[in-house]
Amino acid sequence: MAANGLVHQIQEICLFLDQDNVMVWLDSPTGRFSVKSAWESLHQRRNLSLKARNESQFEGDPFEAQKVISKVGSLVEQLGRARVFSPLHFKGDSDDPWAIFAVRLPRVTKRIAVFWQKPPCGFVKLNTNASVSNGKASRAGLLRDHEERLIFAFYKEFGEVDVLTAESLALLHGLQLCKNARTLGLLVEVDLGSLVRMINAGMLCNSSHRIRDLLQHLRSTVSHTFREVNSAVDKLASMMDQDDFVGTTIYQLPRVVKAAIVLDSRELSSVRLQVVRE
C-alpha cells in the first residue's frame, strides 16, 4: 500500500535529465500498489528499451519512447492471448487495463478415492492426530506394521492449546515412543499440511526442533496425508474424557477405533471432495 502523496513524489523524480519522464505505472484509485507486478512490468519494459536502443545504434532505427511503449503493449497482448497471465499477476492492481488478459480458470469439484496404505515390508507407519474442543486438547497415535498389525496406540490429554501446537505435541509424543521402542524403518504421516511444511522447511519452534531431532535419530521423515486417510487415529484423538494410556493390542481400543482400523486393513476407500482449477 503506497500513499498517494508518496506516489506523486516518485512521479516528480527526474530519471533522465535529457528526456521527459513518461509514466510506465500508474497509482490505482484505491492506492494499492504491487511492487512485484510493477517490477515485472518495468523489467519487461527495460528489456524492450535495450532492444530498441540496440536497434537504434546498430540498425539505424530511431529510438523513440512512444515506439518502445507500443512494443510493450504489443508484447503484453501477445502474452495475454497465450494465456500466460493469471489473476495473481495483477494482485492489488485489478484496475490495470492489462488485467483483462488474466485467465480465470473455472473451479471444479472432483471426487477422489483415498485410503490408508500399509507400509512396505520391513517398515512401520506412525499416524498421529490431535483434537481441540471446548478448551481441551488431546493427542493420539497408531503405529502399525506392513501386515496392518498394531504395534502400539496412545492417547493423552493436555491443557488448552491451539491446533498447530496440539498436532506438534501429538507427533512429538509418538516419535518419543518410537525412540523408546527402538523402532526401525519408520514412516510418519500427519493430516496437518502446515505442520509438515514447517518441519521440512526448518521453521523451528521449541517442539518442531525436538521433532526434527527425533526424526533424524530415527532416520525418518514426515509426510502429509488426508484427514479421511487418518480416520482411525482421528477417532481415537476425539475420544474425550478417558484415561491416558499406551496400548499394544487392538482390543484395548474403543470399539469405533477398532472398526476404523479394520477398515484400514481392508483398504476401504473414502471419498474426498477436492476443488481444483481446470
What tens-digit pLDDT sequence spans the chain (278 residues)?
455 565 566 666 655 555 565 555 554 445 555 555 555 655 555 555 555 556 655 555 565 667 767 777 777 777 777 777 777 777 777 677 777 777 666 778 888 999 999 999 999 999 999 998 887 889 999 999 999 999 999 999 988 888 889 999 999 999 999 999 999 999 999 999 989 988 888 775 678 889 999 999 999 999 999 999 999 999 999 987 678 989 999 999 999 999 999 999 998 888 888 876 66
Please report, for residues 87, 129, 187, the alpha-carbon distance to residue 46 in angstroms, rounded to integers and kept in the order given: 23, 52, 50
Asked if residue 258 and residue 128 are part of one domain, the reply reads yes
Can you tell me the distance from the alpha carbon of 267 to that of 190, in angstroms, rounded to the nearest whole number? 18
pLDDT at 226: 94
Asked if residue 57 and residue 83 are part of one domain, the reply reads yes
Asked if residue 117 and residue 92 are part of one domain, the reply reads no
Asked if residue 145 and residue 260 are part of one domain, the reply reads yes
Query: How many CB atoms within 10 Å of residue 276?
Result: 11
- Which domain range does residue 26 map to? 4-104
Asked if residue 225 and residue 165 are part of one domain, the reply reads yes
Query: How many CB atoms within 10 Å of residue 216?
Result: 10
What crossing angle do the helices spanning 163-180 and 206-217 adopt, rounded to 10°?
30
Looking at the structure of the chain, the number of domains it has is: 2
Residue at a domain's end among 52, 87, 104 = 104
pLDDT at 135: 76
For residue 219, give the 3-state DSSP assignment. Answer: coil
Can you tell me the distance from the alpha carbon of 86 to that of 33, in angstroms, rounded to the nearest whole number? 17
Asked if residue 192 and residue 88 are part of one domain, the reply reads no
